[in-house]
């Protein structure tokens, strides 16, 4: 059997967006992913569904596997013929023991490749507003371990050289030894007034930064109970932090927000929240699936020429209708006849991208706005392909105005399996800041996924953001405290209103 190959991949400093293109490609294709404590678990979602995932993390002296066993694991898996993505925090060759693993692979005759990553020593300070070099401050920098091999007889750090010979010094894994590090630098000639920054969980939304000087930083760290993983940054460049601190000033920085949209539709909303500094916690409460029978939709399509209006109430309605057209050998030309109304710009864009000419996009996304846009509907016939579980408000109002309305099921919504335990843990730890609802069904499904006691815990401590008045009404009936509702009932407006809410606070 031919050996597999091991890829020593730098996972970057924490922000999953900082992984390299090559690294992400390999995570998506390898048979096995062996990952560390500092590798963001979000990256594992890109692995193949059938890929084996093996955690070998080390933190605070707790080792899932000793390094020797990790080396053996990589060799054994590769010799079984499988490809291995060895995912290491930061860069594999910067205090990542990647060199040791590479040596073992060579000894075992296993092919390997190194994929460098963005190291925390540069990225962490950058996200804290600290450039490690700056022409007006320093042109030299050093990365130094703050935790040497305990088996060594003497230190390999030349304190007398780095104390005054290097402008910016970044210590990895050194917060527990901070008094010793500051003391050695001062003893070897560095001014006690030299600025120091501590950056914990750099580049993530859990990032925290403290500043002081060599003579005060140990006391600050003890008072603030600073724990690993924390970088120690020493140098005058820290004076630039107040001016260049971009990451921590974003309106949603450090906020965790539950996104209850269907997974397939959540990515855009999550991205908008993340760009404002939030950590979106995906907890889909709704999933779209095909109807139990296509009979009613097929019949409506066959009689499409009888309708005056075709109203799409969501992107899903467009998608499933067009899917059914393709499956039955038809195309957009077979929808000729009725004028098309699309509720929402996204729905309109989806329809137009598939070749449908949208006549009207109502400015207001409630029944009143739709009726105002369409005009007099008396005597007209209207087709609405939508979810089986949707509310009857729009059809009822159109019927009252004299229209004949045929509502057909284009898709169903069901409740997916959710990570209840993760959500409840974050709520109980006080680490959940908001829950978002993009439809009434996401509210009711969310409520049904928890016991009465669990739901009461969430409602009492986590405020809600709703996309519009109908959703708000449903949420309030269930006891949620809705603090955000945008004037325009779109995902873009919802994300913006959430950012405005926290900015005001």
Residue with tokens 């009689």: 303
Q: Taking the mean position of all CA atoms in its chain, how far away is CA 483?
A: 23
User: For the purposes of burial, counting CB atoms within 10 Å of the CB of 108, is it exposed (0-12), middle (13-18) or buried (19 or more)?
Assistant: middle
Q: What is the architecture of the domain spanning 5-117? A: 3-Layer(aba) Sandwich (3.40)
**Pair 175, 228: CB distance under 8 Å:** yes
pLDDT in tens, 401-425: 899 999 999 998 887 777 888 899 9
Does 28 qualify as catalytic in the annotation? Answer: no
**What is the separation, in whole angstroms, between the first and last Cα of the chain?**
62
| Fold classified for 256-286+416-504 | Rossmann fold (3.40.50)
Give DSSP secondary structure letters for 46-64: GS-TT-EEEE--EETTEES
Q: How far apart are CA 248 and CA 129, in angstroms?
A: 9
* Positions of the chain with pLDDT lower than 50, given as ranges: none
Q: How far apart are CA 231 and CA 219, in angstroms?
A: 16
What one-character DSSP code corresponds to residue 422? H
**Pair 131, 27: CB distance under 8 Å:** no
Q: How confident is the model at residue 498, as a pLDDT?
A: 97
Cβ-based neighbour number of residue 111 at 10 Å = 13
Answer whether 5-117 and 289-414 agree in fold. Answer: no
User: Is the bond into 187 cis (omega within 30 degrees of 0)?
Assistant: no
**Active-site residue, from 5, 173, 296, 334:** 173
Domain boundaries, the chain: 5-117, 122-244, 256-286+416-504, 289-414
Torsion-angle region of 79 (φ positive above 0: left; ψ -120 to 50: alpha; else: beta): alpha
Q: How confident is the model at residue 394, as a pLDDT?
A: 82
What one-character DSSP code corresponds to residue 462? -
Q: How confident is the model at residue 61, as a pLDDT?
A: 60
Q: How confident is the model at residue 89, as a pLDDT?
A: 94
**Active-site residue, from 5, 58, 323, 476:** 58
CATH class of 289-414: alpha beta
Does 176 qualify as catalytic in the annotation? Answer: no
Torsion-angle region of 421 (φ positive above 0: left; ψ -120 to 50: alpha; else: beta): alpha
Does 180 qualify as catalytic in the annotation? Answer: no
Residues 6+ apart with CB under 8 A from 421: none
**Active-site residue, from 2, 15, 28, 36:** 36
Q: Taking the mean position of all CA atoms in its chain, how far away is CA 263?
A: 12
Instruction: Identify the CA nearest to 438 among candidates 427, 450, 446.
Output: 446
The SS3 of residue 437 is: strand
Residues 6+ apart with CB under 8 A from 392: 407
Residues 6+ apart with CB under 8 A from 391: 440, 470
CATH of segment(s) 122-244:
3.30.950.10
Angle at 469 between CA 463 and CA 472, to 5 degrees: 30
pTM tops 0.85, yes or no: no
The SS3 of residue 288 is: strand
């Amino acid at each position: 059997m031919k050996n597999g190959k091991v890829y020593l991949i730098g996972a970057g400093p924490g922000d999953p967006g900082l992984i390299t293109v090559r690294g992400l490609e390999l995570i998506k294709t390898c048979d096995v992913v062996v990952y560390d404590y500092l590798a963001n678990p979000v990256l594992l979602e890109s692995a193949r569904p059938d890929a084996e995932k093996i955690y070998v993390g080390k933190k605070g002296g707790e080792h899932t596997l000793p390094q020797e066993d990790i080396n053996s694991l990589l060799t054994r898996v590769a010799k079984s013929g499988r490809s291995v993505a060895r995912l290491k925090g930061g860069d594999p060759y910067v205090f990542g023991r990647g060199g040791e693993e590479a040596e073992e692979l060579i000894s075992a005759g296993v092919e390997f490749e190194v994929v460098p990553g963005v190291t925390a020593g540069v990225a962490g300070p950058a996200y804290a507003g600290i450039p490690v070099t700056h022409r007006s401050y320093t042109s030299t920098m050093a990365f130094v371990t703050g935790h040497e091999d305990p088996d060594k007889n003497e230190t390999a750090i030349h304190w007398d050289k780095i104390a005054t010979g290097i402008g910016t010094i970044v210590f990895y894994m050194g917060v527990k030894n901070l008094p010793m590090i500051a003391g050695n630098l001062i003893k070897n000639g560095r001014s006690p007034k030299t600025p120091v920054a501590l950056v914990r969980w750099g580049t993530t939304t859990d990032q925290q930064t403290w500043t002081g000087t060599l003579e005060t930083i140990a006391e600050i760290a003890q008072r603030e109970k600073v724990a690993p993983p924390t970088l120690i940054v020493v140098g005058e460049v820290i004076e630039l932090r107040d001016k260049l601190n971009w990451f921590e000033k974003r309106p949603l920085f450090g906020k965790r927000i539950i996104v209850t949209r269907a997974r397939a539709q959540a990515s855009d909303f999550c991205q908008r929240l993340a760009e404002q500094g939030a950590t979106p916690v995906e907890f889909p409460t709704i999933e779209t699936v095909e109807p139990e029978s296509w009979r009613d939709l097929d019949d409506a399509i066959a009689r499409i020429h009888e309708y005056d209006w075709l109203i799409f109430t969501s992107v899903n309605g467009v998608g499933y209708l067009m899917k059914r057209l393709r499956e039955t050998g038809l195309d957009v030309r077979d929808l000729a006849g009725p004028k098309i109304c699309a509720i929402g710009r996204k729905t309109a864009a989806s329809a137009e991208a598939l070749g449908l000419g949208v006549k009207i996009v109502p400015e207001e996304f409630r029944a009143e706005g739709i009726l105002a846009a369409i005009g007099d509907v008396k005597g007209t016939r209207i087709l609405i392909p939508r979810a089986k579980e949707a509310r009857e408000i729009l059809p009822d109002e159109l019927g009252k105005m004299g229209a004949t309305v045929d509502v057909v099921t284009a898709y169903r919504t069901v409740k997916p399996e959710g990570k209840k335990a993760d959500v409840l843990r974050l709520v109980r730890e006080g680490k959940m800041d908001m829950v978002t609802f993009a439809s009434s069904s996401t509210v009711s499904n969310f409520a049904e996924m928890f016991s009465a006691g669990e739901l009461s815990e969430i409602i009492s401590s986590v405020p809600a953001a709703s996309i519009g008045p109908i959703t708000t009404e449903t949420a309030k009936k269930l006891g949620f405290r809705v603090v955000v509702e945008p004037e325009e009932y779109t995902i873009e407006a919802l994300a913006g209103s959430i950012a405005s809410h926290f900015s005001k606070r």
